Amino acid sequence: MFENNTRTELSQMGEFGLIKHLTKTIKLQHSNSIKGVGDDAAVIEPGGQHILLSTDMLIEGVHFDLTYVPLKHLGYKAVAVNVSDICAMNGVPKQITLSLAASNRFSVEALEELYSGVLAACKKYKVDLVGGDTTSSLSGLCISISIIGEAEKNEIVYRNGAQEKDLLVVTGDLGGSYMGLQILEREKAVFKENPNIQPDLEGNDYILERQLKPEARTDIRPILKELDIKPTSMIDISDGLASEILHLCDQSSVGCTLYEEKIPLDSMTVSRAQDFNIDPTLCALSGGEDYELLFTINQKDFEKIKNHPDFTIIGHITDKAAGAQLVTRSGSSIPLTAQGWDAFLKK
């Protein structure tokens, strides 16, 4: 894709030369992507579908640390987290625009690495990169992606449709991304103390990938369709399970009962959490960045989903007056509280 092994300053190419250079290999994959990069605006023909639109920003020092995040992984993750938002609406991702602000400490080759990750994710998720913007920055790297998706009107799933007695379901396993971050932060601290010590990452591949290269669950929509299940509400897990459950409860004006023993945890997540003296359940409830899907289904769909390997039933929806409750492994019931990511809280 990009084969330069030297450093080229951004000033050598200028804004328009850089855009042309980074986007020259883009090939559109969708027939409704009429015009992509190169004009004043992209042209997309919506057809009879409903259009879904979402956007996310990733800011250096807030959302990522380039001490241990490879630029290629960062580009891939920036796309994946946006694709996840479309998955959470039961839609199909189609196009993205990418806006980028970079300081002069980044070379053309560095941005090539970032773009190679973006384009790899576009290929993986069958998404067209159709436009964006680039500018300079006085404070590091900023990435903003807007994504367009499609869905039939009757297939879109919102956060506000959960009903009393619905089952609470989650995909995959939780907490791994948070523990991957703990490993990376530990090795960064060791490196700062002694730059001659090589990072010890061996044996942690799964949780490191969960943090550095998360995957959006584009596979879930066709599985649910095959099972003839339409969720009553849905959200993706970016800020921790507890926070997302409370969002569903708030939007749907309901309560819930979540069972701690039902929360799916990978054995590596549990093992590393114990190494760090962290409660594994807390990793799932408050860790965030798992990008799994949390949704509710009618009880009549229980038999369709109960033994499926991609899904775990973790609780049920209750009356709003009952509130959101966590039933611990010991059997006690406590109010569910959100301690996950909040960009405006002091860390």
pLDDT of residue 14: 67
pLDDT of residue 11: 74
Pair 84, 180 in one domain: no
> Using CA atoms, how far apart are residues 116 and 111, in angstroms rounded to an integer?
8
- Looking at per-residue confidence, does 11 or 321 come out higher? 321
> Using CA atoms, how far apart are residues 255 and 326, in angstroms rounded to an integer?
11
User: Token pair 């769909």 is at which residue?
Assistant: 301
**pLDDT at position 20 over 80:** no
Residue 57, phi then psi, degrees to nearest 5: -115, 145
**pLDDT at position 260 over 90:** yes
Note the pLDDT tens digit of each residue in 206-244.
Answer: 999 999 999 999 999 999 999 999 999 999 999 999 999
**pLDDT at position 7 over 90:** no
Tokens of 24: 């020259």
Pair 148, 202 in one domain: no
What pTM was estimated for this model as a whole? 0.88
pLDDT of residue 136: 92
Note the pLDDT tens digit of each residue in 33-58.
Answer: 666 655 444 556 677 788 888 888 89
User: Token pair 């070379």 is at which residue?
Assistant: 107
**pLDDT at position 343 over 60:** no
Question: Could you tell me if residue 5 is inside a domain?
Answer: no
Pair 94, 174 in one domain: no
Note the pLDDT tens digit of each residue in 283-316.
Answer: 999 999 999 999 999 999 999 999 999 999 999 9
Domain span holding position 270: 167-335
Pair 193, 119 in one domain: no
Give the mean pLDDT of 246-266. 97
- Local structure of residue 90 (DSSP, 8 states): T
> Using CA atoms, how far apart are residues 75 and 261, in angstroms rounded to an integer?
36
Beta-bridge partner residues of 33: 44
8 Å CB contact between 88 and 234: yes
Pair 180, 238 in one domain: yes
Question: Could you tell me if residue 190 is inside a domain?
Answer: yes
**CATH number of the domain bearing residue 110:** 3.30.1330.10
Last residue of a domain, one of 110, 127, 155: 155
Q: In whole numbers, what is the pLDDT of the chain averaged over residues? A: 90
7-11, 124-128, 129-133, range with the lowest pLDDT: 7-11
pLDDT of residue 161: 95
Pair 58, 98 in one domain: yes
Query: What's the number of domains the chain is made of?
Result: 2
Distance between the two ends of the chain, CA-based, in angstroms? 39
Give the mean pLDDT of 314-342. 90
pLDDT of residue 234: 96
Residue 188's alpha-carbon distances to 105, 201, 346, in angstroms, are 21, 11, 21
